[in-house]
Chain A
Amino acid sequence: EAGVVQSPRYKIIEKKQPVAFWCNPISGHNTLYWYLQNLGQGPELLIRYENEEAVDDSQLPKDRFSAERLKGVDSTLKIQPAELGDSAVYLCASSPRAGGYTDTQYFGPGTRLTVL
């Protein structure tokens, strides 16, 4: 069974440019997460989807970040415009059930963003 797929793996852009990350979760997983991982830190949740609904986006900086999960399958996270401080690894994860707070979350390899 394929794991969580993310693309691109690496992205280098100049500040003020837009950037988008794509995630395809494990087939059949209802819940999808986007995390931000700064260097030397643990991941921090940006947004959680249950099917196509964003049920927790309290940590998403909505002035520049947006996300969508059309049809409740794959998802895109966008930053516009990017700032130097956005340089980090963006991780996508999925878990089987909505409301499954003990479920294992399965993580993709991440997209490493560098903003110059």
Chain B
Amino acid sequence: AQSVTQLGSHVSVSEGALVLLRCNYSSSVPPYLFWYVQYPNQGLQLLLKYTSAATLVKGINGFEAEFKKSETSFHLTKPSAHMSDAAEYFCAVSIQGAQKLVFGQGTRLTINP
């Protein structure tokens, strides 16, 4: 069965610093990978997704992620953090035929002024 592990339940960075949120997946078949963001009291919103095209995926709000099959990773990065990036971030995996997302436990991102 497929699964996702997010390393670090809480990440704190300074405004303007690099954001790196880690995600590793486990899947016996080629995965499709997603990053969602959840702001307080709101639903999840898609940041970006990998669907077997380009391995470097660009998303909204300046985020990007790189699919690395050899490392079974799909880490999320942003060069310069903004206060508005403070939220909960979820990595998720979907596989062909299942059509359901399996989410990691989430990483809470805090931005320090």
Interface residues of A (CB under 8 A from B): 3-4, 31, 33, 40-45, 48, 56, 91, 93, 99-102, 104-110
Q: Which of B43, B51, B105, B106 contacts A91 (CB 8 A)?
A: B43
Q: Convert B31-69 into 0s and 1s, putting 1 for each residue whose CB lies closer than 8 angstroms to a CB of A.
A: 010101000011111100101000000000000000000
Closest chain B residue to A3, Cβ basis = B43
B44 adjacent to A101 (CB under 8 Å):
no
With a CB–CB cut-off of 8 A, which chain A residues contact B90? 42-43
B70 at the interface (CB under 8 A from A): no
CB distance from B97 to the nearest CB of A (A): 7
Closest chain A residue to B103, Cβ basis = A42
B106 adjacent to A40 (CB under 8 Å):
yes
A101 adjacent to B41 (CB under 8 Å):
no
CB distance from B59 to the nearest CB of A (A): 11
B43 adjacent to A110 (CB under 8 Å):
yes
Considering the chains assembled together, what is the distance between the CA atoms of A100 and B51 in angstroms?
12
With a CB–CB cut-off of 8 A, which chain B residues contact A102? 32, 49, 51, 94
With a CB–CB cut-off of 8 A, which chain A residues contact B32? 101-102
Considering the chains assembled together, what is the distance between the CA atoms of A41 and B97 in angstroms?
25
A44 adjacent to B44 (CB under 8 Å):
no
B99 adjacent to A109 (CB under 8 Å):
no
